Structure 1
Amino acid sequence: MSNLNEFKRRVVTNVENKPFWEAAGQGRLMVGFCNACGENHYYPRSICPICYSTETELKETSGLGQIYSFSVTRQADPPHIIAYVTLNEGVTMLTNIVDCDAGALRIGQRVRVHFVEAEDGCAIPMFAPL
């Protein structure tokens, strides 16, 4: 089972990403949304990476997605799983997969966000199989 308990987890906040991390601390996964082009983006930022508009805001997600790709580091105990997860909202994020059997993971597998507490009181969005 991969649970990342032995890893130090720190979040570096700044003026631009603080609302994202505050929402994560409340158990809400947010993505950026551009009011100019209507597209979601991750990671959330003040300038849309698609049309370069500054008319962006945060939008809450369902927290559901599927594994696009993943890699397992089996030298770690438990194994460390890093993955790209494509959210139902269409954006793909680099994250970790936790609380699972690494050998049972498959591309396309459905996952749900799982927030892991960081050392500074923030929470980091990771994913676990449904």
Structure 2
Amino acid sequence: MSDIVATPLPGETVQITTDPHTEPFWQAAKEERLVACQCADCGHFRMPPTPFCPECQSTEKKWPELSGRGTVYSFAVVHGFPGLPDITVVGAVIDLEGAAPARLVTNVVDIDPDEVVIGMDVEVRFSPISDGWKLPVFRPVTD
């Protein structure tokens, strides 16, 4: 166990670009709600959002709100970042509860990076970023 705590990148360093297919995700995040793109015809979840469903090719989408919980599918610890040599970031792929097979690429925060494990239960938090947007990040579940 170390004294290092994984944190998100400073908000002013993170910028997003939206388009008609991703805007609902980012608008929900701004409201501190986690949603995932779901085909309105066959029910298949997909992240990142795409113009059409990979299962049935429908262009119809809906954006159900999720529980905000998930599990760590994969992760990598990054010590230092360009221009930020003292930061430690845990990049992760999260299985989203209630939205299989959708996964979200994000960060795990508020934890010693040595304690992050595959299968760990995590919950969403929202970190302010540039232009008033919010980035969903995950931290260990604290029941």
Q: Alpha carbon RMSD of aligned pairs, Å? A: 1.6
Q: What TM-score does the superposition give when structure 2 sets the normalisation length?
A: 0.83
Give, in whole Å, the separation in 1 of the partners of 2:30 and 2:10: 20
Which residue does the alignment assign to 1:107?
A: 118
Give the conservation status (yes or no) of the 8 Å contact 2:9–2:89: no
Which residue does the alignment assign to 2:33?
A: 28
- The alpha-carbon deviation at position 5 of structure 1 amounts to 4.5
Give unmatched runs, 5+ long, in structure 2: none
Give the conservation status (yes or no) of the 8 Å contact 1:27–1:115: yes
- The alpha-carbon deviation at position 52 of structure 1 amounts to 1.2
Deviations 1:31-74 (A, max 9, x none): 01112212111123341122211121111111100001111012
* Partner AA of 1:4 in structure 2: P
Give, in whole Å, the separation in 1 of the partners of 2:25 and 2:68: 14
Q: How does 1:1-130 map to 2 (within 5 A)?
A: 1-6=5-10, 8-75=13-80, 76-89=85-98, 90=100, 91-130=102-141
* Partner AA of 2:63 in structure 1: L
Give the conservation status (yes or no) of the 8 Å contact 1:45–1:56: no
- Provide the aligned length of Structure 1 versus Structure 2: 130
Give the conservation status (yes or no) of the 8 Å contact 1:66–1:86: yes
Give, in whole Å, the separation in 2 of the partners of 1:59 and 1:123: 18
Secondary structure in structure 2 of the residue aligned to 1:30? coil
**In percent, how many aligned pairs have the same letter?**
34
* Partner AA of 2:87 in structure 1: P
Give the conservation status (yes or no) of the 8 Å contact 1:13–1:21: yes
Q: What TM-score does the superposition give when structure 1 sets the normalisation length?
A: 0.90
